[in-house]
Structure 1
């Protein structure tokens, strides 16, 4: 299990990579990359191969200047400039003339020797892809670390749901006696009324069937088992867990509506509270 939220950064030879993600229903990639042929499609393919869901932002900053421009020294241009200066000085000396010595600033001012150029000059796609591979590996490790903690939180909440479900199942036996007493009291109040006893018996039986919560308890147990299985499943499980939380909530609502007993209502509300916390945490799962 991995979290949809994660972060990683990498510095390499003046390049600053950052990759971060937050929750999203699907996969949304936002790339802020310099103009290097093939880099954007390569980045999209690499990220899509690792991440299934989330809002991801990948950025690469080159150099310190605006637009990724950096000052660079051209060794070839410098060697050529020094050779020309030496040739000129030799010719001047042969002619009996003495030239003023050239400072480093003078040499650097020669066009082409030291200029601000696009930071992408000299960069290869293979070099950037190697950076990206390391960045994504660190990012994925961060998501896995957070996912491990998230798995434990979900396991604890599912265990709480299981416990409340079993308490509701145990209370259902006492609830049956409670409902029987309620029906007997109602019959006592209607003793002097003109009632079709056969019809009354049918109505009471129908009410008892309608109020039965056995199916809700059974479905809650099945959902608990399914949720626990998902926690040990490899790959993205966030959507399936989200669906299960909706099913959990449906059964808890029905349990509350059928309660007819204060203690059962209290258990149903407790179930809803835990399920709501579970649903919030599930939104972080890939």
Structure 2
């Protein structure tokens, strides 16, 4: 089953006092590229997020947007530096005594002094946070894949129809090719008779030689055989499970090469018209293949 390179996915996880939302948008790209955007303090998870995405996505540009929201107040720890407080109190009392003051430093003012009281939040467990982030990302990736498979089904149907049309054109070209040689023979014989002023005798050997040379030069049999082979390979590859975009892109180039050669070799208006139509169908196929992973 083929997959499209475009799609969107979303994943949401809530745990450890956090809500992590992961959104993924994928577009066409020749290679696999993952760009992660999230708050700077969580960038330590960037590499593992990229690796997780690339386990399921082999081709296309994937933008991952991660937003983090705290759902609970983190646990806090209060630390009192009693030794520092005692030193500050002693220094204040000593100064008041020397100055002949009776004031003493209030406890509230003492606690406000730098370093006396330290309030810190309990550090988060990196492994638990990583698990939370990856859970949201994996859910988003799965959602993305669902959309890509759905789009892939539509692409496969469209490509199959266009391949069928191209196959019909190949059959028309194959049927027309011998007729072109026969018509050339008739035209050549007519011209030779005119050159001989209507005399019935025509040099058969010379006629056959000229026709043979033309038939060899204008023959498109080999190109049609290769083109038909490419069509069969294309249809077979559409059923593959692995990423097939690059293979299909290569086959389209080869088919286009054969069609161009047919157009240049076949000295016939009807074949030229069919070649133009075939090239149009191939261009439509090429555009669709650009969307295949």
- TM more than 0.5: yes
Once residues 22 and 118 of structure 1 are traced to their aligned partners in structure 2, the CA distance between those partners, rounded to angstroms, is 38
Change (3 A) 1:118 1:8: farther
Deviation at 1:189, TM superposition (A): 5.0
Paired residues of 1:169 and 1:217 also in contact (CA < 8 A): yes
Matched with 1:36 is 42
1:22 to partner: Cα distance:
0.7
Q: Give TM-score, length-normalised by structure 1.
A: 0.75
Q: Which of residues 127, 133, 150 in structure 1 aligns to 2:132?
A: 127
C-alpha separation in 1, matches of 2:251 and 2:35: 30
How much has 1:190 moved relative to structure 2?
4.5
Q: In the aligned structure 2, how far is the partner of 1:119 from the partner of 1:178? A: 85
* Contact 1:29–1:57 (Cα < 8 Å) also in 2: yes
For the residues of structure 1 that align with 2:160 and 2:13, how far apart are their CA atoms? Answer: 40
TM-score (norm 2): 0.73
1:127-151: per-residue Cα shift (whole Å, max 9, x none)? Answer: 2122222221111121111111111
1:157 aligns with 2:158: no
Q: Distance in 1 between matches of 2:155 and 2:8?
A: 16
- Please give the alpha-carbon distance, in whole angstroms, between the structure 1 residues aligned to 2:250 and 2:63: 27
Q: 2:147 aligns with which of 133, 142, 146?
A: 142
Which residue in the other structure is 2:4 paired with?
3
Return the offset for 1:275: 0.5
Shift in Å, 1:271: 0.5
Corresponding residue of 1:82: none
Q: Does structure 1 residue 244 correspond to structure 2 residue 251?
A: yes
In structure 2, the partner of 1:58 is 64
Structure 1 residue 188 displacement after superposition: 3.6
- Among 219, 225, 237, the alignment partner of 2:232 is 225
Structure 1 residues 272 and 119 mapped into 2: Cα distance closer, same or farther (>3 Å)?
A: farther
CA distance in 2, matches of 1:122, 1:140: 26
Distance 1:204 1:166, change over 3 A: closer
1:205 paired residue number: 212
Shift of 1:261: 2.1
Separation in structure 1 between the aligned mates of residue 64 and residue 42 of structure 2, nearest angstrom: 15
Displacement of 1:259: 2.8
Distance 1:261 1:220 in 2: 19
Q: Is the 8 A contact 1:36 1:120 kept in 2?
A: no
Q: 2:241 and 2:65 mapped to 1: Cα distance?
A: 29
Q: Is the 8 A contact 2:31 2:58 kept in 1?
A: yes
Shift of 1:260: 2.1
2:264 aligned with 1:263? no
CA-CA distance at 1:177 after TM superposition: 1.9
CA–CA separation in structure 1 for the residues paired with 2:277 and 2:184? 22
In structure 2, do the counterparts of structure 1 residues 212 and 37 end up closer, same or farther at CA, with 3 Å as the change threshold? closer
